[in-house]
Amino acid sequence: MRVSKLYAPTLREVPAEAEVVSHQLMLRAGFMRKAAGGIYTYLPLAWRVLKKIERIVREEMDAKGSQELLMPIVQPAEIWQESGRWDVYGAEMFRLQDRHNRCFCLGPTHEEMVTTLIRGDVRSYRQLPLSVYQIQNKYRDERRPRFGLMRGREFIMKDAYSFDRDEAGLDKSYQDMYDAYTNIFTRCGLNFRPVEADSGAIGGSGSHEFMVIADSGEAEIVFCTSCDYAANVEKAELFPLEAQEEAMLTKEEVVTPDCKTIADVCAYLKLPVDHSVKAVAYNSEKGLILCFVRGDHEVNEIKVINTCGVIDLEMATEEQLAAAGTVGGYMGPVGIDNKKVIVVVDATVMKMHNVCCGANKEGYHFINVNPGRDFTPTYVADIRLIQEGDPCPHCGGEVSKARGIEVGQVFKLFTKYSSALKATYLDENGKEQPMVMGCYGVGVSRTMAAAIEQNYDDNGIIWPIEIAPYHVLVVPVNTKDEASAAKAEEIYMQLKKVGLETVIDDRNERPGVKFKDADLIGYPLRVVVGPKTLTEGKLEVKIRKTGEIRYLPLDGDYVQDI
Ligand code: ATP
Ligand code: MG
Ligand code: MG
Ligand code: MG
């Protein structure tokens, strides 16, 4: 590639709206241009980087036996209505109608699409496990699109979905994806950390986010300085170990079959009946499931978040109550599907009655519960979120905090979508079973931005070599000096020949201008060919990352050395 031909228009001024470094530098260095808020054209340099990230993603996904396919971006409303998420997804979903007034959306994610696909084609346990993935534009009408590619409304995601016979199978699929993600972000040259994550509105329990450590990150994480405990603060454990052990609860203690109204429950738990107790779900088999709704959500909103349905007792029929089994917008699908009981209560109650808090897995009684979010803080005087310097909930060491950019997330979905969308298979005994699913996303375009957030200096981008748009820039200092221009051409050809992705700055510009652009764009290596160094029989090679300059003898094997 010749710079004279390269479509990478560099800018002197940065548009004021670009708040973070990656956004500023990608505009200045001619990597992208804005089309609308959160919607961008990737210019050739950015597209090369994206293709490299995609290649790494593909290789690692393929290595785990996941198969690439491509699903439609335009998705019919029906499948989202079937899963119950058409109304749940809210304003973040781009919706459209065709000429016959049929409703569609632009896919923000593909659980519905993939589950309805697989349910049509997979019938037998012999066809499982199965894992598929795609790399594609996703659409989310974010409330605040900002930070350039970090929070776009159109962005590139790799999304993978696994289908297993049982939870043991899911555990393996999940671990495979976890390992693949570790390889992907390592190969991209990033400083990252997997952290325990909240399963959020998507449901399920068991999730990790992959966080690139950077001050501009929107997420806050805690991590132990002695062991490998790390979590998104939203998910972080609240209590030191002793308190957890004290509060373990057996199922029998949770079951209170006599409670059928909020008032019953409150009486049982010796709680005042007030606004913090919004909903109770009761299941005849599992017993009581109680939900203390966080202060800033009305029951209606929780209903919307939680497709399994939190029951408003005022409105509920006996039948609904019997079928219910889910709590809190952030607790994920629990109860009947997971065959586990969850109870959320406030801290005072927990102490008084030794009741567990937000558990859907043994030993996890304090994970996933936040005062102020999951229940009103009136009762939580002696609870607080984990803070810098606190003892680690796992090893007692010290925890520290950092900011992170979420570049990927792995989720255990269990049977949330396969139950709702009836994706079943026949097991060895000919019995129909729901498939056990996982979903796994990598933000490809966000990863490119995150790489810059972590690798830059005052002069511009410093690409990790694995994802750099090109490896080497050859700069003839003076294109009018025939000898050095010819030598630069020769070197350019030689480097290309050995497979290095090379650019030559053949413009008739001052060296200062060329060097500035080289640093801004962030070529990992810069080879300078000038009359002076030529007469000395040398080449000047500068390493962008360290600033180190080496002189290679022209009569040696400099191609090899580079
Ligand atoms: P966030 O918490 O930042 O809103 P998310 O948890 O909603 O992200 P997921 O549904 O987990 O996102 O999607 C998988 C991956 O897609 C994320 O880990 C992230 O890297 C990427 N991603 C999500 N939203 C965006 C966006 N608006 N712009 C760019 N990348 C995104
Ligand atoms: Mg989001
Ligand atoms: Mg997130
Ligand atoms: Mg996520």
Looking at the DSSP assignment, which residues form a beta bridge with residue 472? 502, 525
Distance between Cα 294 and ligand 2 center (Å) = 20
Task: Give the ligand 1 atom nearest the CA of 109.
Answer: 10
pLDDT for 80 beyond 90: yes
* 440 Cα: distance to centroid of ligand 4 (angstroms): 9
530-547: pLDDT as tens digits: 888 888 888 999 999 999
Amino acid present at 551: Y
| For the CA of 232, the nearest ligand | 3
Distance of CA 147 to the CA centre of its chain: 16
According to the per-residue pLDDT averaged within each range, which of 20-24, 295-299, 552-556 is highest?
A: 20-24
Query: Does 443 contact ligand 1 (Cβ within 6 A)?
Result: yes
User: How many Å apart are CA 292 and CA 315, to the nearest integer?
Assistant: 17
- Percent of the chain at pLDDT above 90? 57
The answer, yes or no, to whether residue 28 has pLDDT greater than 50, is yes
Q: How far is CA 251 from CA 285, 326, 340, 366, in A?
A: 12, 16, 9, 16
Whether the CB of 75 sits within 6 Å of ligand 1: no
Closest CA to ligand 1's atom 24: 151
Contact 40, 3 (CB under 8 A): no
- For residue 112, pLDDT beyond 90: yes
Going from the Cα of 175 to the center of ligand 2, the distance in angstroms, rounded, reads 23
Residue range 282-301: average pLDDT?
35
Round to whole Å and give the CA distance between 407 and 404.
9
Rounded to an integer, the average pLDDT of 197-214 is 73
Q: In the structure, what pLDDT confidence band is assigned to residue 198 with cuts at 50, 70 and 90?
A: low
Residue 444 Cβ contacting ligand 1 at under 6 Å: no
Say yes or no: CB of residue 152 within 6 Å of ligand 1.
yes
Kindly give the number of the ligand 1 atom that is closest to the alpha carbon of 443: 20
Which amino acid is present at 214? A
Q: Please state the atom number of ligand 1 nearest to the C-alpha of residue 142.
A: 27
Note the pLDDT tens digit of each residue in 252-278. 333 333 444 445 545 554 544 443 443
Compute the distance from residue 293 Cα to the ligand 1 centre, in Å: 26
**pLDDT in the model for residue 199:** 57
Q: By alpha-carbon position, which residue is closest to atom 2 of ligand 1? A: 406
**The predicted structure's pLDDT at residue 172:** 96
The backbone torsions φ and ψ at residue 84, rounded to the nearest 5 degrees and listed phi first, read 90, 5
C-alpha distance from residue 6 to each of 27, 134, 216, 297 (Å): 15, 30, 31, 52
pLDDT one-digit tens code per residue, 130-150: 999 999 999 999 988 989 999
> What's the gap in Å between 513 CA and the centre of ligand 4?
41
The answer to whether 270 and 276 have CB atoms below 8 angstroms apart is no
Establish whether residue 30 lines the binding site of ligand 1, counting it when its CB lies within 6 angstroms of any ligand atom.
Answer: no
pLDDT-derived band of residue 26, with 50, 70 and 90 as boundaries? very high
3-state SS string for 332-374: CCCECCCCECCCCCCHHHHHHHCCCCCCCCCCCCCCCCCECCC
- Range 297-311 average pLDDT: 26
Asked if pLDDT for residue 304 goes beyond 80, the answer is: no
Edge-to-edge strand ranges of the sheet holding 549-553: 502-504, 472-476, 525-529, 538-543, 549-553
pTM above 0.90, yes or no: no
Alpha carbons 461 and 466: distance in angstroms, whole number: 14
* Ligand 2 centroid – CA 108 distance (Å): 10
Residues, Cβ < 5 Å to ion ligand 4: 409
Phi, psi of 90 (to 5 degrees): 70, -155
Q: Which residue reads 């699109």 in tokens?
A: 145
Mean pLDDT across 198-224: 79
Q: What are phi and psi of 154, to 5 degrees?
A: -120, 125
Highest mean pLDDT among 9-13, 175-179, 199-203, 223-227: 175-179
pLDDT band at residue 560 using 50, 70 and 90 as cut-offs:
confident
In the reported structure, the alpha carbon of residue 120 is separated from the centroid of ligand 4 by a whole-number distance in angstroms of 28
Residue 189 has pLDDT above 80, yes or no: yes
Q: What is the C-alpha separation between 501 and 488, in angstroms, rounded?
A: 15
To 5 degrees, how large is the angle CA 115–CA 117–CA 121?
Answer: 110
Output helix, strand, coil percentages for the chain, rounded to the nearest 5: 30, 25, 45
Amino acid in the structure at residue 224: C
pLDDT per residue as tens digits for the range 359-403: 333 333 333 334 344 433 222 222 345 678 888 878 888 999 999
For residue 449, give the ligand 1 atom closest to its CA. 29
Residue pair 531/478 in contact (Cβ under 8 Å)? The answer is yes
pLDDT at 193: 94
d(CA 24, CA 97): 36
Is 50 exceeded by the pLDDT of residue 326?
Answer: no
Of 272-281, 290-299, 443-452, 507-516, minimum mean pLDDT range: 290-299
State how far the Cα of 181 lies from the Cα of 60, in Å rounded to an integer: 8
